[in-house]
Structure 1
């Protein structure tokens, strides 16, 4: 298993390669936004499926949110983050180079994981997906994930803190004050219409 500490993780990310790290839901594979193609390659993921941008706090992600959705984003983010909620909003015009969606939206999340947040404080936001080969159920342990991704570095120390093993709730911003549920998870959002 290729275990790395924070300094080695930064070096790996800056070289264009992904790392695997724990979150409060499922382990993630992540990379710096400018290297998003690498996750699709390692996961064998359909390029039409967008990735999620994770950060250590919601203020670090606000520049990715289009002006029209900022007020609603801040309202939801301040209530439900950190946690198992992914918020899909229109992307800021300044950040379209980091998009992996075809509809100019971006999925954002702040995990409720001390290890993930400490890593993200050092790296800045990372584009992420669950650490599994697309179409297959992945492991939730570092040892199991290392079998699927033998060449990808894994953020330590291990064992990782306990996670839920369930995917996050995903909500989509439709218009001011109006959210739609995309995927049900642990978090119940009472602002949905």
Structure 2
């Protein structure tokens, strides 16, 4: 039976983290707090677990989940042809609310869905999420909600939507941002075909991005909300 573990209580934190690690290892789903909204996560290297995640949300393979990492150092193991501008963004905004789409390492044995050879990566700014990621490695994580419904900003809100589809819920308090991460696509830049463009507006503004990478960020008219 699914249970919510209060991570502000040290005893529940220890128990919840242990059970969350076990759940990930078994290919089950966990809900974790992040700095933006709550996420539902699965072992990124288990196609069955990723498929379970998509089914829990009511999504198809055409909507592959991003991958959360414990640190920016993990990026080179998951992506290739990483531009200097991406490293500059990572240095400023990670951990934080920026998701970056890159060319995936072709040698990785995983199946996140219909990615067309790309992977969306982020380092979240939440101690509970980072602690779990440090122990499990990268997780495929999507917002903890049913497709078409608002993203959950509390563990209880995530439980209301996902219920028993998730094995363990880690409650790290209310997600104060209450808004999803900004998603940018850097694959055109890495292929020498263009700049970096915004795919989804979020907690990091275009102006903030432009302060770091200047005109490498394509005009705001290219953005999709």
Aligned-pair CA distance for 1:187: 0.9
Q: Deviations over 1:105-152 (max 9, x none)?
A: 110000111111111111111001000001112432211221212211
Verify: 1:117 aligned to 2:118, yes or no.
no
In the TM superposition, what is the alpha-carbon distance from 1:161 to its structure 2 partner?
Answer: 5.1
Alpha-carbon RMSD: 1.9
Post-superposition offset of 1:155: 3.6
How has the CA–CA distance of structure 1 residues 123 and 75 changed in structure 2, closer, same or farther, with 3 Å as cutoff? Answer: same
Which of 70, 95, 117 aligns to 2:108? It is: 95
CA contact (8 A) 1:6 1:155 kept: no
Question: What is the aligned partner in structure 2 of residue 56 from structure 1?
Answer: 70
Alignment correspondent of 2:32:
21
The structure with the largest helix share of the pair is 2
Answering whether residue 52 of structure 2 is matched by residue 38 of structure 1, we say: yes
Provide, for residues 6-33 of structure 1, a one-character-per-residue CA deviation record: whole Å limited to 9, x for no partner.
Answer: 1111111111111001100010000001
TM-score (norm. length: structure 1): 0.90
State which of 162, 167, 179 in structure 1 corresponds to 2:180: 167
Distance across 2 between alignment mates of 1:87 and 1:2: 32
SS at match of 1:69: coil
Larger Rg: 2
Which consecutive residues of structure 2, in runs of 5 or more, have no partner in the other structure? 6-15, 219-225
TM-score, normalised by the number of residues in structure 2: 0.78
2:223 equivalent in structure 1: none
- Alignment length, in residue pairs? 191
Unaligned 5+ runs, structure 1 = none
Distance 2:101 2:146 in 1: 23
Distance 1:79 1:142 in 2: 28
Q: Are 1:69 and 2:82 matched, yes or no?
A: yes
Q: Is the Cα–Cα contact under 8 Å of residues 142 and 154 in structure 1 kept in the other structure?
A: no
Quote the Cα distance in structure 2 between the aligned partners of 1:99 and 1:70. Answer: 23
Whether the 8 Å contact between 1:62 and 1:70 is mirrored in structure 2 is: no
Relative to structure 1, is the Cα distance of residues 75 and 101 closer, same or farther in structure 2, using a 3 angstrom cutoff? Answer: farther
TM-superposed deviation, 1:70: 5.0
* SS of structure 2 residue aligned to 1:6: helix
Contact 2:19 2:168 in 1 (8 A): no
**Which residue pairs with 1:2 in the alignment?**
3
